[in-house]
Amino acid sequence: MPPVLSLSEQNAGSSSGWALPDWTQVLKPHFLESAIPVWSTGRLCLREPRNACPEAVEWEQHWRRLEHGITGRAFSFYRQQIRSRCVARTLARLLPNAGIFVECGCGTSETSCRVRPKPDQTFLAVDFAWRPLRQALQQPCITGGVQADIRDLPFQDSSLDGIWNLGVMEHFEASEQRLILGEFHRVLKPGAPLILWWPPQLAPDRALLTLLGWSFPDEPGRIARAAGRHVMLDAGFHSVSVTRPPSDCFTELVVYGTSNPS
C-alpha cells in the first residue's frame, strides 16, 4: 500500500510522486486541507478527521452484523442480482454523458455493480460510515470515495453533474430530509439530475422481513408517491417524476428531479 501522506504533500508533488485526482477539484478547499487520504484498491478515499457521529457508529455496527449471517448474504444477493439491473438501466438513461456523479449515502455500492461509466463520466461514493465506504471502492465503476455526512456535504456549490442514492432518505425525519435535499440542490449544477430510490410506506420486502423477525434501522421517512413529488418541488427541483418500477420488485419509488436551471 502506498505511504499515508497529507494531502498537501501529495498535491505538492514531486518528492512523493503522488498527485490528487482531478475529481478532488469539486471539494471545498478546507475539507481538502484537513481530510485524511487513504488508498484502497488503488483508489483514493478521503476520510473526515473529526470523530464519527453516533449515527455513523451505529451504521458501522449495522454493516458489521450484515457481513456475518444469512440475512446479510441474502441482502447482498438481492442488491447485486436484482436491484443493480434497475440501477444500471436508470442511470444510463437519466445521467448526462459526461461529468462527476456521486452516490450520496452509498453503503457498499453493491447496487452499482452493473454500472458501466462512459469515457467522460466519473463516479464517486460518499458515506459517513467507513466500513461500507471501503467496500464501495471495490466496485469497478467507483473512481474514488469521500467519508462525509450528506447533511453537510464537502462539495463546492454547483460542482456536481448528478447525484443518486438508494434506501437512504427513509432513515431521516422530514426536517432532515429537507436539509439533505437542500444540500443536494446546492452542490448540483443547474439542471443536473437527482435520482432517489426512496422506499414507500408499504413495500413487499419490508412486510416479508418483518414477518421473519428482521429488525430494521429506524425508518421514519418512508413516503407515499404524492409526498415524494411534493417534497422535491418544495426543495426547488424541477421536472419531478415519481415511479415504482416492477424491475425493482416494487420495493422502492424512483424519485427524479433536476436542480433549478440557471
Residue 238 bridge partners (DSSP): 258
Task: Give the three-state DSSP class for 43.
Answer: strand
Distance CA 95, CA 97 (A): 7
Q: Which residues contact 244 (CB under 8 A, 6 or more apart)?
A: 200, 225, 250, 252, 253, 254
Task: Give the residue-averaged pLDDT of 6-12.
Answer: 50
Quick one: pLDDT at residue 56? 78
Grid coordinates in use for 60? Answer: 458501522
For the segment 207-235, what is each residue's pLDDT rounded down to a tens digit? 666 666 666 667 888 899 999 999 999 99
Quick one: pLDDT at residue 18? 64
Q: Residue 213 has what DSSP assignment?
A: T
Domain boundaries, the chain: 54-258
Tell me which CATH homologous superfamily contains domain 54-258. Answer: Vaccinia Virus protein VP39 (3.40.50.150)
* Burial of 94 from C-beta contacts in 10 A (0-12 / 13-18 / 19+): middle
Grid coordinates in use for 133? Answer: 465506504
Distance CA 198, CA 227 (A): 11
Task: Give the residue-averaged pLDDT of 28-35.
Answer: 94
Examine the pLDDT at 4 and tell me if it is beyond 50.
no
Q: Is 258 left (phi over 0), alpha (psi -120 to 50) or beta?
A: beta
Quick one: pLDDT at residue 120? 98
pLDDT > 70 in the chain, percent: 85
Q: pTM here? A: 0.88
**Contact criterion met (CB below 8 Å) for 84 and 108:** no
Task: Give the residue-averaged pLDDT of 229-248.
Answer: 93
Quick one: pLDDT at residue 59? 78
Given pLDDT bands bounded at 50, 70 and 90, which one contains residue 77? confident
Q: Residue 243 has what DSSP assignment?
A: E
Task: Give the residue-averaged pLDDT of 170-190.
Answer: 97
Quick one: pLDDT at residue 116? 97
Quick one: pLDDT at residue 93? 97
Q: Residue 110 has what DSSP assignment?
A: G
Examine the pLDDT at 1 and tell me if it is beyond 50.
no
Quick one: pLDDT at residue 94? 98
Task: Give the residue-averaged pLDDT of 148-176.
Answer: 96
Quick one: pLDDT at residue 108? 93
Quick one: pLDDT at residue 164? 98
| Average pLDDT, rounded, for the chain | 87
**Contact criterion met (CB below 8 Å) for 232 and 182:** no
Distance CA 213, CA 178 (A): 32
Quick one: pLDDT at residue 27? 98
Given pLDDT bands bounded at 50, 70 and 90, which one contains residue 51? low
In the sheet with 142-147, reading across from the earlier edge strand, the strands are 36-40, 43-47, 142-147, 120-127, 98-104, 162-166, 193-198, 253-258, 238-243
Distance CA 118, CA 98 (A): 7
